Structure 1
Amino acid sequence: MLPLIAVALGWARSLPAAPAAARPIIVMNDRPPLQPKDDLRPRFARADPDSAPKTSFKATPTAVATRPNDAAGAITSNEQLLAEIRALQPEAPSPRPERTPVDLNGIQPTFLLLGAASYGLASAFGFQFAVWAAGFFESHPLDEDAFYVVARLSTVARAVVVAMAALGTGVTAIASIGQLALMAQVMDGIRKGELDPSKERVDPYGGRKQGELEKMLRLMLGDKLAGL
């Protein structure tokens, strides 16, 4: 046992010793330490230690802010959209032409009275016919055993007869009132000396009426280009 221990101790002593820990090498340099470059950080500003404390927190313009000249010259999306909407809008309508007064000279109040009376009689007859037709249709109902199509057509025909009679009554009544109003206006103008019933009547729509009649006559004679 002892010889083995002696051999082990001798082998351990024969191993090389471990190197000592390296000491830190201090190099003396006269240059100052590097300072942070704030110009590379446009969104961060490093305050000077000797500067006064900050008393205002208003936003200050930085390097990333848009320049005023660029903002003034650029067109925003809202302005572009507004310009497109205005371009699509229809143009302003032209002003209406001035209405030329109708010459009432040459109109006889007697003819206007006759016209108003005839329209009034037509309106009265139309009213009487409408009342009579409605009563007749009410007292003579449709046959329930009639064919469906015939019954529907008869119902429509009765409604059309009553409606046309009522419409004619209203139109002729309005025409009669208009004739009376025109007669009153003409008589007032004659009384004031502004109108002369004996003067030759000049119809402002005479040329248009004659043109329409000529066009209809040409169409009846086979002229297909008359309506163009």
Structure 2
Amino acid sequence: MSDGSDRSWSVHSAQQGGPIPVPLAITDGSVLLTYGWEGTYGVWRFDLASGSLTRLSTEPAARGYGTGAVWLEPLRGTAPGGAEQSGDTLARLDLSTGMVTDWFHRDATLVRYLGADGDGHPWVLTSMYSSQGFNLGIWRVRGPGQADLTLEGQRIDRIFSDVHGTWFGNESGVYLFAGGHLDRVSAASVGEVIGPCVAQK
């Protein structure tokens, strides 16, 4: 707390060991949290000034925060795309209204939120198992039902955006998406891009 003291809050659940708090973002003097295994117990707001803890939504599978909304990975179909609580959909939770809107869906496919770019568009990784292995895709989602396949056959863990555009990387190199085009700017094998481009003088 601001006075240097420590305080704790709890959310009741029947889950063995109690809920696991996972911070999503710090915004407007509060911390957005999800609780439980894979965000089972919804989305909460912890007010830093008052210490109050308020549930904003019972929707599970909250994965991140961007452009004033929490992004969820709910399972809308009947066939799970991956492990427990893995979803086949990217949905937007509006924090001002509590409304949830599905933006992206693929049947029998694991859909994973990667982050939002500088224009506020979320990016997702899709993974679908077939007899030939996993079919992977990296998508930029412009709105509900509006998505562009940016790269096929590649797996990444996150994106990072700065004034140059949207960056990501993996063992095949470093990529930059800008002006509607994707370029591989380096063939160096990397784990992932974790920060902005730093120009050398």
Instruction: Note whether the superposition's TM-score is higher than 0.5.
Output: no
Higher relative contact order (CA 8 A, sep 6+): 1
TM-score range, shorter chain: under 0.3
TM-score (norm 1): 0.17
Which structure has the larger Rg over C-alpha atoms? 1
Higher strand share: 2
Normalised to the residue count of structure 2, the TM-score between the two structures is 0.19
